[in-house]
Amino acid sequence: MANVKHFSAGNDIEMVNIESVRNLIAFCLRTHSRLIHISTSSVAGMSINDVPGPEVKLTEQDFYIGQYVNDRKYTYSKFKAEELVLDAIAHHGLNAKIMRVGNLSARQKDGEFQINFNTNNFLALLRAFVVIGMVPYGALDQRFEFSPIDEVVHAVMLLSQTPKDCVVFHPYNTHRQFLSDILTGFAAAGITLKRVEPEDFQQALEKMMDNPDLVTLLRPLMAYNLGGNRKVRNIETSNDYTTQVLYRLGFQWPVTAKAYVHRFVDTIVGFDYFTFN
């Protein structure tokens, strides 16, 4: 169980994602049970002014690498929850594993999407581009992974059975899709976004942010731009170790190519996710 909202005015995110983990740790220690904690690759956080540097990636052997995690309540809550689990492993003998999953997406077998797609941060980012009606050229070569939820469950179940000393895993898809490829799926579904220069995109975004009815929808675009003169970027992660373990367990990630992406877009469009009234 987790609260996957990335923004909240109250403390519901902290109560579900931190305090519930604290209680689960106590239960597992008392009953000598193994805790399988589902975390997120977004605990890699952000680099501010090249701290940490561009050569640094969050691996399965890392936790705090100097990243900034206070930009979103969700990221911070998952980071603090991991801290609790790791502390309990080190100091209290907790038997636990941490699974840092990626962009959970529609099932591979039938395209069915998770019921809480309205709180999915990746979808919120896509919707923000649709709201503004354009995308900067510089964003087109950004790569996104789609981790079909049924395949993630399979991977997590296999990794959960590994020896106790194997603690942290990154079970997310090794394949990537360019944003430009995803937008091709949008076009096939009847949604076309204008491609513009970065300065034109920024100007349009600032103008639309003056509309209070659009601020919430556009917030995902602002969440990755903390403003000022600071140089901000998402820190990359690596799942080379996890991938090698999964190979040895007889598992490999499916290719989420054109057909999958188009089916994914068709499903979300069918829910009127990109309709604004």
- Separation of alpha carbons 17 and 73, rounded Å: 10
Q: Is the residue at 136 inside a domain?
A: yes
- Encode the chain (277 residues) as per-residue pLDDT tens digits: 454 444 444 466 777 889 999 999 999 999 999 999 999 999 999 999 899 999 999 999 999 999 999 878 889 999 999 999 999 999 999 999 999 999 998 888 877 776 565 557 788 889 999 999 999 998 999 999 999 999 999 999 999 999 999 999 999 999 999 999 999 989 988 899 999 998 999 899 989 988 988 888 888 886 445 344 567 888 999 999 999 999 999 999 999 888 888 888 888 877 777 776 5
| Residue 139 is assigned to a structural domain of this protein | yes
Residue 4 lies in a domain: no
Query: Residue 138: which CATH number?
Result: 3.40.50.720
6 in a domain, yes or no? no
Closest CA to 195 of 203, 183, 207: 183
113 inside domain: yes
Helix (H) or strand (E) holding 265: helix 258-270
Instruction: Judge whether 43 lies within some domain.
Output: yes
The whole-angstrom separation of Cα 131 and Cα 241 is: 39
Total domains, the chain: 1
256 belongs to a structural domain: yes
Q: State which amino acid sits at residue 260.
A: Y
**Structural domain for 124, as ranges:** 12-270
Decide: helix, strand or coil at residue 240: helix
Whole-prediction pTM: 0.86
